[in-house]
Amino acid sequence: MKYILLQIKADTIVVSSIANEITYSNNFWFWLAIIELVVILVLVFKLSHKKNNLAFSELNKDNLKKSQETDIDMGNVMKSINYSSELYKELSRKCHPDRFINSPNQKLAEEIFQEIARDKRNHEKLTALKERAIKELYITF
Amino acid sequence: MWYKVIQIADWFGEMSERYKLVRDFNKAAKDSFINGQAATLLEAKITWGESSYRHAFSKFMGGGFRIKALSGRPMAKYELIEVGKVVVDNEALVRKLVSLGWDTLEVHDNHGVSGCKWALKEHAHIGGFLK
């Protein structure tokens, strides 16, 4: 009986020492995980607040990314398909440089006519040129 | 390993951009047709394309950008050429098409048998800047 009691006491001491070890080890891994979490949070914060302005120029990284995503104005493409030929004919007839011979606007008419010929299938640019012709060449449409 | 993952992500990104462009074109065409601005309804599709027009960035089995004109009548050749020339003259659009893997622009109507083809690389003004 005495032997059994001694054995039980010894076992209890062993169990309690193991439990202490587990608590210590738990503490160690817990604090290590906390430190890792802090490091990760710092890195994420740094990444999100990364300096966008390049050091060597006034360019901005966001602007550079946006410039790669050129959005095409499909509405203008459709208008160009449907209306540009008529608008081009009208503009080239009314703004022809031959109508401005020996007038102070001759050079301006030549310049506008060249632009009209270059952008003859771009409705948006032709519309802008029409407005310019109305303002600068005093043409009525 | 990560390089492959990035490659796959890039591939999916490019494909979505291709479909977005086709969707935008079709939406604009539908809007202008419904509003009465356009007499013909245009529709863009991705096709195989012309093998002789291929370039370094051509997509396998997807190099053709086909514009189908639903006019209800056989369209004259000059009308088809006019539609194609508007696209080809838009340098920004052509460059985007080339960079997204298209090599051929096709225009045809739904009644006739004639159609037109353009090699996009010849109109992208590669090696120069946009006007």
Q: Which residues of chain A are within 8 Å of residue B89 when distances are taken between CB atoms?
A: 120-122
Cα–Cα dist A120/B26, whole Å: 23
pLDDT at A21: 60
List, for residues B34-87, the tens digit of each pLDDT value. Answer: 998 888 899 999 999 999 999 888 888 889 999 999 887 888 888 899 999 999
- pTM flag (> 0.90): no
Question: Where residue A66 falls among pLDDT bands split at 50, 70, 90?
Answer: low
Determine the 3-state secondary structure of B101 from DSSP. Answer: coil
Q: Where is mean pLDDT largest: B29-33, B38-42, B69-73, B121-125?
A: B29-33
Q: What are phi and psi of A104, to 5 degrees?
A: -65, -20
Residue B68's DSSP bridge partners are: B43, B108
CA end-to-end span of chain A, whole Å? 121
Q: Which of B68, B82, B86, B96 to mutate to test the interface with A (most CBs of A within 10 A)?
A: B86
Q: Which residues of chain A are within 8 Å of residue B82 when distances are taken between CB atoms?
A: 81, 85
Cα–Cα dist A28/A77, whole Å: 66
- For chains A and B, CB pairs below 8 A equal 54
> Is the per-residue pLDDT at A115 higher than 60?
yes
Mean pLDDT of chain A: 80
Q: What is the ipTM of this complex?
A: 0.84
